[in-house]
A and B are shown apart, each in its own frame.
Chain A
Amino acid sequence: MTRIWIVKGVLVTFFFAMIIVGGTQLYRHRHFDVPVVAGPGVTKISLLSEYCPGLKGTTADTAVFFLEGKEQGGRVLLMANTHANEPEGFLAALIIIENAVVEKGTLIVIPEFNHSASRNTRPGDGYPLYYEIKTNWGKKKFRMGNRDASPLDQWPDPDVYIHFPDRQLLSYIDARNTNRTWPGRPNGPRMEKVSFAAMEIMRREKVDVAIDIHGAETMFPVTNCIVAPEKSQKIATMAALTVKAREGFDNHVEPSPSGFRGLSHREIGDYSETLPFLLEAPIPFLDQPTGPKTVNLLLDGKDPFLLSLSRKKKLFVPYDESGWPIEKRVGQHCSVALEIMRQFSKKTPEKAVVAQGIPRYADIVRNGAGYYFHDPKGAQKDKLYLAL
């Protein structure tokens, strides 16, 4: 055998070893399930495909938790992981599912709105595949997802994404971004079906308020805020002022731009009776000029490059050595969501939604987010949900 054939043999062996080792890690990540212990307030668990049959059997299908009160009232829809690389929304949604008890009205929670994106990753940016949150019973492990749905679930990408129904031209990648595919259609690309299913929930269940939970870069002007269209702005303003006065954190109001299509805070308001709100908490992990994208950066939000930029006044949020830890971000989301519900209930008492057991900002900052997660090993089988 000649030398070149020996070299080729070695290279091919190395090539397959790389594919098997790397592929196995990605396969495990895609098939890793996060156990959720349905709390005492959960009365029903449904699927998105019940509102759009085209999603049935696909990775885009996801769980919808209903927390119904004994007393009639309004309905609030909470969506998290629209972008699955913004985990504070997902953690806030899980805290609500595992702890909230609704007394009046109904709370509908979709913790993993872009389920396909939550099983995707971004190897080019060196994203970690998992992160862990300390709890009273050990560490709870979560998948770290990506902003967009996996190309394994929606392919091929178009050259340009033409938004439906406004025909605005968007970036090709936004075809897999569930915050550009609203209001969606039942026979469109799969992510449009996801948005359509949520619109169907709002129409069929007569949802009054929809809250879409996100995180945004510290260098992005639309961060640490509530984005609201015209019809939601009074409630958003009251919620922002109240959390500032009572709980001591900033969360200003940003108007939803009418010319930028496909966003939840724009299309939900334009295509339904529901009042939409989009919550943004600062997440330094998403900023471009940071060090390596590590689990520590994701959880504590500390980065020396951002600190330097903060001193040069290049950030849109206050930033110091303490970073922007996940407890603050999750706490903000819980408090702002509760405050929006409270303000809506004050304005329309016949459609009030009253929930107990949801911790507020100060509780989560003091105890940590993990304090509110229940041990799946000690849970009753009928309370354990494994497909998230």
Chain B
Amino acid sequence: MPLIMIIYYVLTICIIGLVVWNFVREKKNIQDLILYLLVLIPLLLRVMRAK
């Protein structure tokens, strides 16, 4: 795997971590919760290498 792809996957995992952390910490706003989950879709699919 080229270095650029490894960096790309590491970045994706970091962003997933941030979004999940925000999802867990959110206490009131349901719209934000939905938004976090929507944002997660492409990131998770990429990390799972789903084809």
Contacts and interface: CB of A to CB of B under 8 A. Distances in A.
A15 B37 contact: yes
A152 B37 contact: no
Contacts of B23: 8
Given A4-B28, A30-B51, A152-B51, A11 B33 contact: yes
Contacts of A7: 30, 33
Given A11-B33, A152-B51, A19 B28 contact: no
A19 B44 contact: yes
Contact of B4 (A8, A15, A152, A156): A156
Q: Tell me the interface secondary structure of chain B in the complex.
A: helix
A18 B4 CA distance: 30
Contacts of A11: 30, 33-34, 37
B33 A8 contact: yes
Interface in B22-36: 23, 26-28, 30, 33-34
A12 interface: yes
A23 interface: yes
Question: Main SS of chain A's interface residues?
Answer: helix
B37 A12 contact: yes
Interface string A155-174: 11000000000000000000
B21 interface: no
Contacts of A8: 23, 33
Contact of B45 (A15, A23, A30, A155): A23
Nearest to A151: B46
B16 interface: no
Contacts of A30: 51
Nearest to A152: B51
Interface in B2-51: 4-5, 8, 23, 26-28, 30, 33-34, 37, 40-41, 44-45, 50-51
Interface string A2-32: 0010011001100100110001000100100
Contacts of B50: 23, 27
B51 A156 contact: no
Contacts of B41: 15, 18-19
Nearest to A2: B27
Q: Which of A12, A15, A152 has the most CB of B within 10 A?
A: A15
Contacts of B33: 7-8, 11
Contacts of A4: 26-28
Nearest to A15: B37
Contacts of B4: 156
Contacts of A156: 4-5, 8
Nearest to B38: A15
Contacts of A12: 37
17 contacts: A4-B26, A4-B28, A7-B30, A7-B33, A8-B23, A11-B30, A11-B37, A15-B37, A15-B40, A18-B41, A19-B44, A19-B45, A23-B45, A23-B50, A27-B51, A30-B51, A155-B5
Interface of B: 4-5, 8, 23, 26-28, 30, 33-34, 37, 40-41, 44-45, 50-51
Task: Pick the 3 closest A-B CB pairs, nearest first.
Answer: A15-B37, A152-B51, A11-B33
